[in-house]
Homo-oligomer: A and B are copies of this chain.
Amino acid sequence: MEKIVAQGLLYDFYGELLTEHQRRVYEDVVFNDMSLSEIAEEQGISRQGVHDLVKRCDKILSGYEEKLKLVEKFNQTKKMVEEIKELAGQYKKDGDRSLIDRIEAISEEIGKL
Name A residues whose Cβ lies closer than 8 Å to a Cβ of B.
13-14, 16-17, 64, 67-68, 70, 77-78, 81-82, 84-85, 88-89, 91-92, 97, 100, 103-104, 107-108, 110-111
Contacts and interface: CB of A to CB of B under 8 A. Distances in A.
Number of copies of this chain that the complex holds:
2
B100 A84 contact: no
User: Which 10 residue pairs of A and B lie closest in terms of their CB atoms, listed nearest first?
Assistant: A85-B107, A16-B67, A88-B104, A84-B107, A81-B110, A88-B103, A81-B107, A88-B100, A70-B70, A85-B104
Nearest to A109: B81
Nearest to A66: B16
Contacts of A108: 85
Contacts of A107: 81-82, 84-85, 88
